[in-house]
Amino acid sequence: MLDDYLIADEPYYRPLGNEIALFEAAYAHRLPVMLKGPTGCGKTRFVEHMAWRLKRPIVTVSCHEDMTASDLVGRFLLDANGTLWHDGPLTLAVRHGAICYLDEIVEARQDTTVIIHSLTDDRRILPLEKKNELVRAHADFQLVISYNPGYQSVLKDLKESTKQRFVALDFDYPAAELEAKIVMHEASLPPAPAKLLVTVAAKSRNLKGHGLEEGASTRMLINAGLLMSKGVSFAEACQVAIVIPLTDDADLRDALRSAVAACQ
């Protein structure tokens, strides 16, 4: 049923601490897990890696502000013969025992997020009101959400009652040496340019909260590295993969560009 959602090849992941063991322990009790951390630091990659490790299918939902409960749970559709119920991604995972990963959960409306409550305590049930059905979670089902606390505005935040249901793993950008290794691996770069990219990222992260909403993510560095592996110069790769995407502010761009120039 969920074979399409199984991950066949090991997703590359370098542990930052003992998050793998922690996640495995949480999974053993099917505790819901919340991954906190800045954009592009490797949260999604980590869940995929864990799904592969645990040999569980993973159903990923990218949350957005128009998402309704029906989008998660499912809805009746019309067909020629009448009506037909169609499970949403969450119901699918609950019924058949997958890891359901709700990415950027704060983006979803608060009335949508409350439907996960009954899944996150010992009841482990999902009521489908429209269908008048109570779905009991499959023994293998686990809920994982990601949450970026510094991101967006203060207007978006998780409800306290939602937060308190989760075991939380705190993610951050990897230490410089480790991050360089990740960039080397993912972008097939030699050590020197990878290190240089990591230095640039560290400089941009200094501006977080002082002009920039977020510093350059590991993902951005990998993008820059991929461009460099195709012969793009360091300065230009930084410009198009880091500086321009990060900000529209001309002064910030100039400062970042000059910082890039100073690094090489």
Partner 1 sequence: MKLVTSETPPATPPLLQGAAALAFAGPMSAPWLAAVERLSQAGYGEPVVESYRRHSPEVAGKVGPNAGIALADSVSLLAIKAGRKAAELLPPAAAQAAGRVADAHRFRAFLNLMERLSSLAPESVSEVLIRIDRLLSRLDLSRLEAWVLAGIRYGGGDAQRRHGYFSFEDPEAERWLERESSDVTFEHVGRRLKYYLDALWRIRLPIREPSLRAPEASRRRTSFDRGMIRVPPVYPGFRDQQAEEIFRAALAHVAAHLTFTRDKFPARSLKPVQIALVSLIEDARVEKLAMREYPGLRRLWLPFHVAQPSGAKTAPTLLARLSRALIDPDFEDPDGWVQKSKEMFYAAREHWDDQQMSRVLGSLLGNDLGQMRIQFNAKTYVPEPPYRDDNVGLWDWGEQPNEMADEELLDESVRIVRQEEDDPDPPDRERQEPERDQGSANRARPEEQAPVDIGIPVARYPEHDHLIGRDRPDWVTVKEYEPRLGDPGEIERSIEANPELRFRIQAMIRAAKVSRPRRRRHMAEGEQLDLDAAIQAVLSQRIGESPDPRIYSTVMRQFRDLSVLLLLDISESTNDPIKGSRRPTLELEKQAVALLGEAMEGLGDPFAVAAFCSDGREDVHYLRIKDFSERFGALPLSRLAGLTGSLSTRMGAAIRHAGVELGKQTTYRRLLLLVTDGEPSDRDVPDRRYLVEDARYAVAGLTAHGIDTLCVGLDSGAENHLARIFGPRNTIMIDRIDRLPDRLPSLYFRLTR
Distance CA 143, CA 61 (A): 11
Identified binder of partner 1 from the candidate list 115, 180, 242, 256, rule CB under 8 A:
256
Site size toward partner 1, by CB under 8 A:
34
**Pairing relation of β-strands 125-128 and 133-136?**
antiparallel
Looking at the Cβ atoms of 98 and 259, the one nearer to partner 1 is 259
Ramachandran area for residue 143 (φ above 0: left; ψ -120 to 50: alpha; else beta): beta
Q: How far is the CB of 160 from partner 1 (least distance, A)?
A: 10
Nearest to 193 by CA among 201, 184, 185, 202: 184
Give yes or no for residue 246 binding partner 1 (CB under 8 A): no
Identified binder of partner 1 from the candidate list 25, 114, 134, 262, rule CB under 8 A:
262
Nearest to 132 by CA among 73, 195, 180, 57: 73
Three-state SS at 241: helix
Whether the Cβ atoms of residue 73 and residue 126 lie closer than 8 Å to each other:
yes
Q: How far is the CB of 211 from partner 1 (least distance, A)?
A: 6
Give yes or no for residue 2 binding partner 1 (CB under 8 A): no
Three-state SS at 165: coil
Looking at the Cβ atoms of 17 and 149, the one nearer to partner 1 is 149
Whether the Cβ atoms of residue 196 and residue 63 lie closer than 8 Å to each other:
no
Of 129-188, binders to partner 1 (CB under 8 A) are: 130, 149-150, 153-155, 157
Give yes or no for residue 108 binding partner 1 (CB under 8 A): no
Looking at the Cβ atoms of 121 and 170, the one nearer to partner 1 is 170
Looking at the Cβ atoms of 99 and 221, the one nearer to partner 1 is 221
Taking the CA atoms of residue 201, residue 207, residue 208 and residue 212 in that order, the dihedral angle to the nearest 10 degrees is: -100
Residues interacting with partner 1, by CB under 8 A?
36, 68, 70, 76, 78, 82-83, 130, 149-150, 153-155, 157, 203-204, 206-207, 209-211, 250-252, 254-256, 258-264
